Every structure is written in C-alpha cells, then in structure tokens.
Amino acid sequence: MKTHEVIKPKCLIVDDEPLARDVLRRYCNKLPVLHLVGECSNAIDAYLFLQTNEVDILFLDIRMPELLGTELVQSIKNPPKVIFTTAYKEYAWDGFELDAVDYLLKPIRFDRFLKAVNKALPGLENVLLTNESFEMERKSGIDSIYLRIDRKQVRIVLDEILYIESDKDYIKIFTQEKMYLCRQTISSIESMIDKSEFVRIHRSFIVPIKKIKSYTHELVEINKKELPIGKFYLNHFLKIVATGAS
C-alpha cells in the first residue's frame, strides 16, 4: 500500500424512505473523506449488515417499521458513531440518550450534514469543501418532500406548490393540479422547506415567494387567490419581498 493512502471512514445509510437515502448518498459522495459501504431500507437488514461489516459512521433514521433506529443501536454491542435522522423533533431526546454524535431533522440541509460529519470526525480538514462547492450545494437544495397522505408517503414537488394552509391539526397543500390533505402542523412543514423560497404570511398560510403576483399590507395574491397577511408576520414579509432573501 502506498504510504500516502488514507483509510477512509466507512459509512452506512439506514432509512426506509428512498428520497432520504438519495439525499444522504449525494451528500456522502460530495465528501472525499467518506466511504459509503452500503444502504439499508430497514433496521433489521442493517443489523445483519453490521454483524459482518465494519462501519465507522451510521446515518440512522429513528422511526422505521418493525425495529426503530434507537432499538437497533441498543441491540449492537459496540455501535459505530451514530448520526440520527428523522422528521420528528420529539425523537431527539431518545437519540441523545444513546450518545449519538448528532441529530439531523429532515429535510436535511447540507450545512447541517457537514456539521454532523465534522463532529463525528474531528480534526479531519479534508471533510471541509471549498466555498464554491458548498455554495453550489446550498443553492441546489431539496426539490421535494415526502408527506404521509392516505397511509402512503407522497412526493410533493416544492416548485409546484401555490400555497400551504393550516386547518387545525391538518395542512392543505395547494398546487395547480390538486390539493393534498396531510395530518401535520404548519410549523412542522415550515421547518422542512427552504426559507429562502417560502415565507409564512399568517399563522395559517405559507406561500412560495416567486409565485406572489401582487401584495398589499393586508393581502397576497397568488394564482388569482387572495390570502391574508397577519399583523405579526407583516414586517418579516415586507423585508423578505424587498430583499429577496430571508
């Protein structure tokens, strides 16, 4: 072996959502210091994989069918460094009780992913990307999210959203073609989408900035639909539309 070769930390992705695995795979491939050795769609397959394969970093979803990510970690005698991933903030404490390196909330931003990797691999300067690469990744962002609708994980393309409306414990996502009804809070959706692309204008409404046709201090017009601007959100909204950034 050449003397200058570096042994790369081995990583395993475990998540039952295809989109989540795609995002993590892309992020891992952008960091030359990491070596992605496998992907599993459930914790049971991951358990079997770990019996015969050495892994340094485990990107692990918490909420999965049959066996939770936290239960997987508890079943392993000498678990690797664990970076938990989930769409549910309430699972954070369970993860940290198991000495996880970090906890990433979906949809995972590249800057948070990079921060978590640096926690797992302190002192490895080649983890850091150039500013140009980081800016390109930041701008590329995430173009869709998966939401549980009618017992299925449904892909919602962010660019197709006209506006999002809260209705008690549900949200309505309106697109040009149809309306999606999902049992989720508007605050949880707000945390999943890019704040440079969307702005909350009311306790019950979130809108995509580039689809705003016109506005006053009371109303926003999108696709011939007028939506109210709440007094609490007005100043922030005016700042966003004036600068074009959050």
DSSP secondary structure of 134-178 = HHHHHHH---EEEEEETTEEEEEEGGGEEEEEEETTEEEEEESS-
- State the pLDDT at residue 241: 87
The structure tokens listed for 200 are: 């909350």
pLDDT at 94: 57
Return the pLDDT at 2. Answer: 46
Q: How far apart are CA 184 and CA 122, in angstroms?
A: 37
At residue 155, the pLDDT reads: 81
pLDDT in tens, 60-74: 998 888 888 989 998
Q: How confident is the model at residue 132 (pLDDT cuts 50, 70, 90)?
A: very low
Residues in the chain: 246
Please state, rounded to an integer, the average pLDDT across all residues of the chain: 83
DSSP 101: S
- Residue 221 scores a pLDDT above 80: yes
Structure tokens at 23: 């995002």
Q: What is the structure's pLDDT at 141?
A: 52
Domains detected in the chain: 10-140 (3.40.50.2300), 144-243 (2.40.50.1020)
Tell me the pLDDT band of 4, cut-offs 50, 70 and 90: very low
What was the pLDDT predicted at 49?
95
- Of 30-39, 149-158, 219-228, where does mean pLDDT reach its minimum? 149-158
Tell me: pLDDT of 125 over 70.
no
Grouping H, G, I as helix, E, B as strand and the rest as coil, residue 204 is coil
pTM for the structure as a whole: 0.57
- According to DSSP, the β-strands at 198-202 and 179-182 are unpaired
Strand order in the sheet with 10-14: 35-40, 10-14, 57-61, 81-86, 102-105
Q: Each residue of 60-114: pLDDT tens digit?
A: 998 888 888 989 998 988 889 999 998 776 655 555 567 788 888 887 888 889 8
Share of the chain above pLDDT 70, in %: 84
pLDDT higher than 50, residue 131: no
Arithmetic mean of pLDDT, 230-242: 91
| Res 232: pLDDT | 93
